[in-house]
Amino acid sequence: MRVDEAREFFSEFSRLRSILEVCCSVGLGYLQLGQSTSSFSGGENQRARIAAELALPSTEHTLYVLDEPTGGLHAYDVQRLIKHLRELVLLKHSVIVLEHHSDVLTACDWVLELGPDAAANGGQIVSAGVVG
pLDDT tens readout for residues 14-38 = 989 989 999 998 889 999 999 999 9
How sure is the predictor about 131, in pLDDT bands with cuts at 50, 70 and 90? confident
pLDDT of 54 above 90: no
**Measured distance CA(127)–CA(34) in Å, rounded:** 44
| pLDDT single digits (tens) 83-119 | 989 988 998 899 999 998 999 999 999 999 999 998 9
**What pLDDT is recorded for position 110?**
93
**97-to-7, 17, 46, 50 alpha-carbon distances in Å:** 29, 29, 11, 13
Domains, the chain: 3-129 (3.40.50.300)
**Measured distance CA(83)–CA(61) in Å, rounded:** 19
**What pLDDT is recorded for position 99?**
93
Cβ 81 vs Cβ 73: under 8 Å: yes
**What pLDDT is recorded for position 127?**
92
Count of alpha carbons within 13 angstroms of residue 42, beta-carbon side = 9
**What pLDDT is recorded for position 132?**
67
**Measured distance CA(55)–CA(124) in Å, rounded:** 38
How sure is the predictor about 49, in pLDDT bands with cuts at 50, 70 and 90? confident
Of the candidates 26, 9, 27, 7, the one whose C-alpha atom is nearest the C-alpha of residue 17 is: 7
CB atoms within 10 A of CB 22: 20
